[in-house]
Amino acid sequence: MQFKNINETCYYFDAPVNIGYVHHGEEGLLIDAGLDRSVMKKVLKALDEHSLPVTHLFVTHAHADHYGGASYLQKEKNIYTIAPKFEAAILQNPMIEPLYLFGGNDPLPELRNKFLEGEAIQVNEKVDEGEHQIGSFKMTLISTPGHSYHQLGVLIDDVFYAGDTYFGADQLEKHKIPYITDAEKAISSLKKVRNISCQGAVPGHGVFEENFSETIQANMDYHEKLLNEITAYIKKWDEGVSHEQIVADLCKRYQVKAQQLSQFLLFRTAVTAYLSALIQREEIHHEISGYRWVFKAN
């Protein structure tokens, strides 16, 4: 983890999951909180070494790798916590994530791990898209659904902290089937933020870039590539192909690691996100046939 300076007030912790930091005098704003307390301990140690305060926390979205360290932070510091309205419900009730990934059934014990379920946190202010003044921090919050239901990116002091609106190009290749909840919304969000005028952007996974539009375009191209591949695959099945078969064959095609149930459920959700987009585009349709969820090309 490296603490990197962007401009006079903006920084970020360059890590597997990036954490933003904005300094205004006696106030300090963290943007996301990392996976767990060990990450947050490193963050607080670095801030102490630089004599920098931490008074506020903004959580871009309620995935455990972005808020898992928040509970420890709240125990150690007097923190004012802000989160998107819908995401706040999950932050306060973290079992919701393994619950929805498991299709609404009570999640098995193996799904109740720190990667899917962080510790519950207190949310002081629930916000929506638009201009906000919170303490000394004037920020523009930008709604970017698609990866999570009500994710908000933060534009502050000429830097855009994007959360998981987009991924670094190397992250796309690493994960192969990126986790999203709705491909059409993900692409719309990318189009929305591609031309934001600012000094640069920090993605949740990747590096700060002044010229980030090419990386965002790479994300859009990657999503479209997967949509085209899935469409071509479905067209090969005259009688239709089941949801389970599509998930299995696409995971096999990309040789993803899905040995554990939690990994499999994440990929299943992502594949379904692309299928949902193709239904919205009227390129495929779906039906229940032989007690299976079946997809056919239009």
Q: Which residues contact 260 (CB under 8 A, 6 or more apart)?
A: 110
| Of residues 86, 205, 214, 202, the one with CA closest to residue 143 | 86
Identify the CATH number of the domain defined by range 223-297: 1.10.10.10
| Of residues 16, 8, 78, 6, the one with CA closest to residue 42 | 16
> What is the tens place of the pLDDT at every residue in 128-152?
999 999 999 999 999 999 999 999 9
pLDDT confidence of residue 158: 97
> What is the tens place of the pLDDT at every residue in 264-296?
999 999 999 999 999 999 999 999 999 999 999
Q: Which two tokens stand for residue 120?
A: 């519950």
> What is the tens place of the pLDDT at every residue in 221-243?
999 999 999 999 999 999 999 99
DSSP secondary structure of 67-105: HTTHHHHHHHS--EEEEEHHHHHHHHSTTHHHHHHTTTS
Could you say which DSSP state residue 17 is in? S
Cβ(211)–Cβ(261) below 8 Å: no
CATH, domain 2-211, list 3.40.50.2300, 3.60.15.10, 3.10.20.600, 3.30.450.150 = 3.60.15.10
pLDDT confidence of residue 173: 85
| Of residues 72, 196, 85, 28, the one with CA closest to residue 13 | 28
Domain with CATH 3.60.15.10 in the chain: 2-211
Q: Which two tokens stand for residue 213?
A: 């539009």
Residue position matching structure tokens 């992250």:
171
Cβ(282)–Cβ(275) below 8 Å: no
Give Cα separations from 159 to 38, 40, 85, 154, 198 (angstroms).
Answer: 27, 22, 23, 8, 6
Residues 146-177: b if buried by 16+ CB within 10 A, e if exposed: bbbbbbbbbbbbebbbbbbbbbbeebbeebbb
Q: Which two tokens stand for residue 95?
A: 């079992």
Label residue 145 exposed, middle or buried (CB < 10 Å: 0-12, 13-18, 19+). Answer: buried
pLDDT tens per residue across all 298 residues of the chain: 999 999 999 999 999 999 999 999 999 999 999 999 999 999 999 999 999 999 999 999 999 999 999 999 999 999 999 999 999 999 999 999 999 999 999 999 999 999 999 999 999 999 999 999 999 999 999 999 999 999 999 999 999 999 999 999 888 888 899 999 999 999 999 999 998 999 999 999 999 999 999 999 999 999 999 999 999 999 999 999 999 999 999 999 999 999 999 999 999 999 999 999 999 999 999 999 999 999 999 9
Residue position matching structure tokens 């193996």:
110
Label residue 15 exposed, middle or buried (CB < 10 Å: 0-12, 13-18, 19+). Answer: middle
How are beta strands 137-143 and 152-156 bridged, if at all?
antiparallel
Angle at 179 between CA 142 and CA 20, to 5 degrees: 45
3-state SS track over 176-209 = CCCCCCCHHHHHHHHHHHCCCCCCEEEECCCCCE
Question: If DSSP codes are grouped into helix, strand and coil, which group holds residue 47?
Answer: helix
Total-model pTM: 0.95
Edge-to-edge strands, sheet with 130-134: 130-134, 137-143, 152-156, 159-163, 200-203
d(CA 175, CA 206): 13
Domain with CATH 1.10.10.10 in the chain: 223-297
d(CA 215, CA 66): 21
